[in-house]
Amino acid sequence: MALETSAESPAPLRTISLALQGWIGKLGAVWVEAEVVQPRLSGNTYYLTLRDLSANLSLHAIAPRLVIESGAAPVTDGTRVVVHARPEFYAPNGRLSLRLLEIRPTGEGQLLAQLERRKQLLAAEGLFEARWKRPLPLLPIAIGLVTAKDSAAERDVVQNVRDRWPEARIEVRHALMQGSQSATAVIAAVRELDAHEHVDVIVVARGGGSLQDLLPFSDEALIRAVHAARTPVVSAIGHEPDVPLLDLVADLRASTPTDAAKRVVPHVGDELAGLRAARERARQAVLGHIERERAGLAALRSRPVLASPAAFVDAQQDLVTTQRERSRMAIRARLDRAHDEIGHHLARVRALSPLATMHRGYAVALDRDGRAVTSIDGLAAGDDLVLHLTDGQATVRVTDLQEHPHE
């Protein structure tokens, strides 16, 4: 029911606000198709703008965090969606907004949701884990290339490989790189190159394209075939913003076909420069080692014992000679002292010897028993005595005994 107002009888603003709130509330929940603009999370609430797909018209929207994040695909700026929402009019500031109850991607958003579900399932199996990634060979014997015939991607890879390493061998397998048969063709080419005995790395290359164009490179059968390959695989699909599932399962992701060529072979100029630098470092290391050894040898040769090896022997010989002479002198002095001591002892012995007395005119008389006669007591006339003289002995007979008076 319309409000009746006039210049003389105006309605208060609160009445109009409450009326608007009542009328909008009667609309109930509606389904709306729009494009998401600038979603922003604050606490547990998302604030975003919904923009009409053809007209220049937009409306503020609010959604609980659970509604946005429980969707099949991430909601980002530019995502096309269908939302179930209830219009709300906030009377205090007069703002109209939609409170989202459910959100579903549509168009490309729906495709992204399907890819996201496939990605989550394959990731749960462990197909994207880093432990399965194989390192690329430093210099492959042959490079396998899967790409479209006469495509810009083929030219980019081949030309850049030739520029970087002219002797590189490339095994090219052409395959459909777009359309419903593309995944099957790429799988067959990858398996053929994987069985090639000389192919050390496989590059799957295609230029950029729309999401639909790149769908074959998110095919589950292709992802499993690349994961099962024995040869390292490089994914060079699209440009930097494009991330098909092949990028996740490949051993290396290159942003472009040109980048893939730079990753699989080194630059011959860089390698030659590195080789020259390595040789120069090795030469400097050897020269440095020789110089250190030469300096050490010179230091050893400058030592007195090596500068004049005989000097040490001469010094030791002089020491031995000196010690020997000292020993000789000590022995001679000891012998001289011993000689003097013997002379002294001999003189004393001679002084005490009966022979010395006998030399002065005395003799030693012995009786018949060989005892020395020192007194006339016990002698009688007619006894025989033996007289020992300095130069012999004589036998005498006692004829007379005379006693000398005591002094």
Q: Where are the domains of the chain?
A: 13-106, 128-266, 303-352, 355-397
pLDDT at 110: 60
- Provide the 8-state DSSP code for 106: -
Cα gap 55→245, rounded to integer Å = 35
In whole angstroms, give the CA distance from residue 120 to residue 126.
Answer: 10
C-beta pairs of 354-357 under 8 Å, 24+ apart in sequence:
355/390
Question: 168, 172, 245: which is closest to 205 by C-alpha?
Answer: 172
Closest to 144 (Cα-Cα) out of 60, 265, 29, 55: 265
| pLDDT at residue 407 is higher than 60 | no
| pLDDT for res 289 | 94
Classify domain 13-106 at the CATH topology level.
Answer: OB fold (Dihydrolipoamide Acetyltransferase, E2P) (2.40.50)
Band of the pLDDT at 210, cuts 50, 70, 90?
Answer: confident
pLDDT tens digit string along 34-85? 989 999 999 999 999 999 988 889 999 999 999 988 866 678 888 888 889 9
Q: Do residues 70 and 37 lie in contact, with contact meaning Cβ atoms separated by under 8 Å?
A: no
Question: Cα separations (Å) of 62 from 37, 75, 345?
Answer: 12, 13, 140
Provide CB contacts within 8 A for 375, sequence distance 6+.
none
Give whichever of 213-217, 237-241, 401-405 has the largest mean pLDDT. Answer: 213-217
pLDDT of res. 160: 94
Please report the pLDDT score of residue 331 as a whole number. 93
Tell me how far apart the alpha carbons of residues 184 and 180 are, in angstroms, rounded to a whole number: 8
Q: Name the average pLDDT for the chain.
A: 87
pLDDT band at 146; cut points 50, 70, 90: very high
Q: How far apart are CA 385 and CA 370, in angstroms?
A: 9
Q: What is the pLDDT of residues 179-190, one digit of tens each?
A: 889 999 999 999
Q: Is the confidence at residue 306, as pLDDT, over 90?
A: no
Q: Distances in Å between the alpha carbon of 46 and those of 32, 69, 167, 315?
A: 17, 10, 57, 100
Q: Strand 95-105 to strand 80-90: parallel, antiparallel, or no bridges (unpaired)? A: antiparallel
Instruction: Indicate whether 140 pLDDT > 90.
Output: yes
Token representation of residue 327: 């020993």
Q: Is the pLDDT of residue 242 over 60?
A: no
Residues 6+ apart with CB under 8 A from 373: 365, 366, 367, 379, 385
CB atoms within 10 A of CB 84: 15
Pairing mode, if any, of strands 392-397 and 384-389? antiparallel
- Residue 264 pLDDT > 90, yes or no? yes
Residues 6+ positions from 390 with CB-CB distance below 8 Å: 355, 358, 359
Band of pLDDT at residue 379, cut at 50, 70 and 90: confident
- At 346 the pLDDT is 86
Helix (H) or strand (E) holding 174: strand 170-174
Tokens describing residue 330: 């000590």
Judge whether residue 196 has pLDDT over 90.
yes
List the single range of 9-18, 70-79, 225-234, 383-392 with lowest mean pLDDT.
70-79
Cα(251)–Cα(232) distance, integer angstroms: 6
Average pLDDT over residues 136-160: 93
The pLDDT value recorded for residue 127 is 93
Q: Where residue 308 falls among pLDDT bands split at 50, 70, 90? A: confident
* Residues composing the chain: 407
Q: Is the pLDDT of residue 202 over 90?
A: yes
* CA neighbor of 218 nearest in space, from 250, 195, 260, 189: 250
Q: Residue with structure tokens 């300096």?
A: 295
Return the CATH number of the domain spanning residue range 128-266: 3.40.50.261
Helices 108-124, 220-228: axis angle to 10 degrees equals 30
